[in-house]
Amino acid sequence: MSAELRREKIVDSATQQFRNLLESRYLQILKAASDSFADDDNAVEPTCKVGVTVEWDAIAPSTKVAVKISWSAKFRDESDDIVDVEQLKIDFQPGGEAGPNGGA
């Protein structure tokens, strides 16, 4: 089988599998998004989010094409911080003055 034909068949298989999964799970995906919106007066309108993973053997002439979808109404919280171990820590004493040697 030519590389072009193989590519076409893998893409067709993955596309059809994704379509079937999305069609069969559509109402569950919609419900998950709607449920996350129901109890929060400050929430913006719910958004359906679906993740797709496609796997196949890159070399084998005959390969299994596996498609997985995941969905959820995700709540998100995030934080970041920069840690610079080279920077001296300065402990400020009451009255706004740094202690000797940076407070050490």
DSSP calls for 70-82 = EE-----------
Rounded Cα distance, 74 and 33, in Å: 9
What letter represents residue 46's amino acid? Answer: P
Let me know if residue 94 belongs to a domain: no
What integer pLDDT is reported at residue 79 of this predicted model? 63
d(C-alpha 16, C-alpha 22), whole Å: 10
Task: Give a yes or no: residue 39 inside a domain.
Answer: yes
Tell whether 32 is covered by a domain.
Answer: yes
Give a yes or no: residue 77 inside a domain: no
Q: Is 88 helix (H, G, I), strand (E, B) or coil?
A: coil
- Span 6-37, pLDDT tens digits: 999 999 999 999 999 999 999 999 988 888 77
Residue 98 lies in a domain: no
Q: Is residue 41 part of a domain?
A: yes
Range of the domain at 14: 3-71
Instruction: Count the Cβ atoms, other than its own, within 10 Å of residue 55.
Output: 12
**Considering the domain boundaries, does residue 85 fall inside one?**
no
Task: Quote the tokens at residue 19.
Answer: 């379509």
The 10s digit of each residue's pLDDT in 38-58 is 666 666 777 888 999 999 999
Residue with tokens 């999305």: 22
Instruction: Specify if 15 maps to a domain.
Output: yes
pLDDT digits (tens, 9 = 90+) for 69-94: 998 766 555 566 766 666 665 666 66
- The pTM (predicted TM-score) of the whole model is 0.63
Q: Which amino acid is at 58?
A: A
Token readout for 81 is: 């911080």
